[in-house]
């Protein structure tokens, strides 16, 4: 049995005790165990702060970018191996695994490109210089410099590769050392990535540490220059926000949590049009990619009442073509959910949704998976529900089912649909499909305060539109309210968590020289 280790204080360290089991969710075979019992997290944090931090801060943005590029290339060079691990431990189809692993290398590469633009400098300039005196000499300028602590990254089970890379890319480019912790259940791919980074000696000592298993007291040991970036459930997020270091030491915490992402079909969209096809494709893909275990997956689908039957019909057709089973088999297009807990939550969650909607396709208990031993694995089919009379406080607007499940609901007008979407309490992304400019404008203005990202699928971009569920390194990922209130990525915006913004006042020439210093 493979026993995983953590990489702390510059070496691989195994915890004691029995350890948690990592399984193949298709067969329930145990693949590895891991434990962090007995690890000295205080020493791990000190090592990162005293070795990794100074080494990173001595590098320019351009140099840190080269490091990120090397990390991206190293992942790409071992792509096949990583994809197979993701398939085995995450229940991913090959396509799902690519979304995670290529997302990881792509995000590191995008941040390497940004670093090249920032060049041979150490200070990030924020906005233009502002004249604050009567004369032309006295100026103010906001600048960012790296925080002198450690960035602790706690990730969710669904994107072990991308989660590690997208957070590490922004923190390392910002000049902060990272202690990264994947969710234990699907940690194998992140563990292998870490081995690759260490084998290839891609980072300065202490720049990247890896905790494989429970976080123990790690977060309680943080101080005022440290940062937490968390992705996971709102229940865990609430616990972390109440942690000693957040409450007493002012540790910055960024939270990416649940989200009831929506898709809205405009009344002007005709059946058979490019926009309708885009809408159907997006909904079907977002429901089933990664077995619906994406924080950005579409959970709520709003359509004008007179189009409901046509939309349900087309979605049913698409979902009927999904082949559920062991994701290592080529014909399978949707694997299991990742853990025993997940399948239990999906089944209970669909029951909750049934209080306000009827199942019109699928079942969480009769998946009949292809190529799987009888009775094994954490499988469900996609489940589509229809809620004929949506209300803001019903389960479709308050409960996230983290699986291949969505609810189609009718709406009357833009005001009505915007208030239903807002009842979800704040989300990561919502997509609007229409060509009617007035409808789009009203919808965007009403939806924007409740979202970190909106996508507009109109006929002019239907052929090149990117899936709403794809978080891009250039654009913000995060959302207000139930989505956690966090902001990640968004190019240089993502680095703000890892850098202190300071207003400098003084002689303009001096300030400009500081900002430009190599
Ligand atoms: P989770 O149970 O909250 O776990 C998330 C992470 O927190 C794991 O690494 C977990 O470690 C760790 N953790 C749990 N309790 C902790 C504690 N007391 N102290 C420190 N760390 C702790 O969430 P999940 O089940 O993995 O993820 C699913 C949820 O994440 C969904 O609700 C989904 O919406 C959300 N999500 C959001 C985004 C986004 O970007 N907004 C992305 C993906 C997922 P262990 O695994 O070791 O317990």
Among the listed residues 166, 212, 256, 286, the single catalytic one is 256
* Angular region, 411: left φ>0, alpha ψ -120 to 50, beta rest: beta
Torsion angle (degrees, nearest 10) of CA 391, 295, 176, 190? 160
- CA-nearest residue, atom 42 of ligand 1: 295
Instruction: Convert 123-161 to b/e letters by CB count within 10 Å (16 or more is b).
Output: bbbbeeeeeeeeeeeebbbbbbbbbbbbbbbbbbbbbbb
Which residue has 């997290």 as its token pair?
41
pLDDT at 68: 98
pLDDT at 48: 98
Mean pLDDT per 10-residue section of the chain, whose length is 518 residues:
95 95 96 97 98 98 98 98 97 96 98 96 93 91 96 97 98 98 98 97 98 97 97 94 94 96 97 96 97 97 96 97 96 96 97 98 94 94 97 96 98 96 97 97 97 96 90 96 96 96 95 79
| Ligand 1 near 153 CB (within 6 A) | no
Q: Residue 307 CA to chain centroid, in angstroms?
A: 32
Which residue has 């694995």 as its token pair?
377
| Ligand 1 near 35 CB (within 6 A) | no
Nearest to 360 by CA among 376, 381, 378: 381
Q: Quote the crossing angle between the two packed helices 94-118 and 160-174, to the nearest 10°.
A: 10
Among the listed residues 295, 400, 487, 488, the single catalytic one is 295
Active site residue 21: no
Q: What separation in Å is there between the alpha carbon of 401 and the centre of ligand 1?
A: 15
Q: What separation in Å is there between the alpha carbon of 183 and the centre of ligand 1?
A: 7
pLDDT at 1: 81
- CA-nearest residue, atom 10 of ligand 1: 183
Q: What separation in Å is there between the alpha carbon of 324 and the centre of ligand 1?
A: 25
Q: What separation in Å is there between the alpha carbon of 443 and the centre of ligand 1?
A: 31
| Ligand 1 near 214 CB (within 6 A) | yes
> ∠ CA 84-87-89 to the nearest 5 degrees?
105
Contacts of 410 (CB under 8 A, 6+ apart): 302, 303, 304, 305, 308, 388, 390
- CA-nearest residue, atom 23 of ligand 1: 232
Q: Quote the crossing angle between the two packed helices 79-90 and 61-77, to the nearest 10°.
A: 70
Active site residue 256: yes
| Ligand 1 near 356 CB (within 6 A) | no
pLDDT at 517: 59
List phi, psi (to 5°) of 378: -105, 70
Q: Residue 32 CA to chain centroid, in angstroms?
A: 25
29 to each of 175, 239, 339, 372, how far by Cα in Å?
Answer: 40, 32, 12, 11
Q: What separation in Å is there between the alpha carbon of 131 and the centre of ligand 1?
A: 46
Select from 184, 232, 339, 451 the residue to mutate for testing ligand 1; criterion: most ligand atoms less than 8 Å from CB.
232
Select from 166, 214, 236 the residue to mutate for testing ligand 1; criterion: most ligand atoms less than 8 Å from CB.
236
Contact 295, 486 (CB under 8 A): no
Instruction: Enter the tokens of residue 428.
Output: 């990561």
490 to each of 62, 170, 486, 500, how far by Cα in Å?
Answer: 18, 10, 12, 17
pLDDT at 516: 78
Nearest to 147 by CA among 220, 49, 68, 60: 49
- CA-nearest residue, atom 15 of ligand 1: 236
* Angular region, 344: left φ>0, alpha ψ -120 to 50, beta rest: alpha
């Amino acid at each position: 049995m493979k026993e995983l280790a953590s990489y702390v204080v510059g070496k691989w360290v195994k915890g004691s005790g029995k350890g948690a089991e990592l399984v193949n969710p298709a067969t329930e075979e145990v693949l590895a165990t891991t434990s962090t019992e007995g690890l000295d997290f205080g020493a791990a944090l000190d090592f990162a702060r005293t070795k990794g931090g100074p080494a990173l801060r001595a590098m320019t943005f351009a140099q840190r970018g080269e490091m990120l590029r090397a990390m991206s290339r190293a992942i790409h060079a071992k792509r096949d191996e990583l994809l197979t691990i993701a398939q085995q431990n995450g229940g991913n189809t090959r396509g799902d695994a690519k979304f995670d692993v290529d997302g990881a290398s792509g995000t590191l590469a995008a941040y390497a490109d940004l670093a090249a633009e920032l060049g041979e400098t150490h200070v990030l300039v924020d906005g233009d210089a502002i004249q604050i005196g009567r004369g032309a000499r006295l100026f103010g300028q906001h600048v960012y410099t790296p925080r002198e602590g450690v960035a602790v990254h706690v990730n969710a089970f669904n994107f072990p590769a991308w989660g590690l890379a997208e957070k590490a890319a922004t923190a390392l480019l910002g000049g902060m050392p990272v202690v990264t912790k994947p969710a234990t259940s699907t940690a194998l791919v992140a563990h292998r990535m870490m081995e690759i980074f260490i084998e290839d000696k891609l980072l300065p000592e202490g720049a990247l540490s890896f905790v494989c298993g429970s976080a123990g007291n790690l977060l309680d040991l943080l101080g005022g220059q440290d940062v937490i970036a968390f992705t996971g459930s709102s229940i865990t997020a609430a616990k972390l926000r109440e942690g000693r270091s957040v409450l007493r030491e002012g540790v910055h915490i960024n939270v990416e949590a649940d989200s009831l992402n929506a898709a809205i079909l405009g009344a002007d969209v005709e059946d058979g049009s490019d926009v309708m096809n885009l809408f159907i494709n997006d909904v079907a893909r977002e429901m089933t990619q990664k077995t619906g275990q994406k924080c950005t997956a579409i959970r709520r689908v709003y359509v004008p009442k007179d189009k409901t039957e046509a939309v349900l019909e087309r979605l049913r057709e698409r979902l009927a073509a999904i082949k559920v089973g062991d994701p290592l088999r080529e014909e399978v297009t949707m694997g299991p959910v990742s853990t025993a807990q997940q399948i239990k939550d999906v089944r209970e969650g669909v029951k909750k949704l049934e209080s306000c909607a009827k199942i019109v396709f699928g079942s969480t208990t009769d998946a009949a998976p292809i190529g799987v031993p009888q009775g094994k694995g954490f499988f469900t089919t996609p489940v589509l529900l229809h809620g004929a009379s949506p209300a803001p406080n019903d389960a479709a607007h308050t409960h996230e089912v983290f699986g291949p499940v969505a609810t189609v609901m009718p709406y009357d007008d833009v005001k009505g649909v915007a208030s239903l979407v807002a009842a979800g309490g704040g989300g990561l992304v919502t997509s609007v499909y229409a060509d009617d400019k007035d409808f789009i404008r009203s919808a965007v203005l009403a939806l924007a305060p409740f979202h970190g990202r909106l996508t507009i699928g109109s006929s002019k971009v239907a052929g090149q539109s990117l899936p709403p569920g794809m978080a891009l390194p250039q654009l913000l990922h995060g959302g207000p309210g139930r989505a956690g209130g966090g902001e990640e990525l968004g190019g240089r915006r993502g680095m703000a968590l890892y850098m202190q913004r300071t207003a400098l006042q003084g002689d303009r020439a001096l300030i400009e020289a500081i900002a430009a210093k190599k």
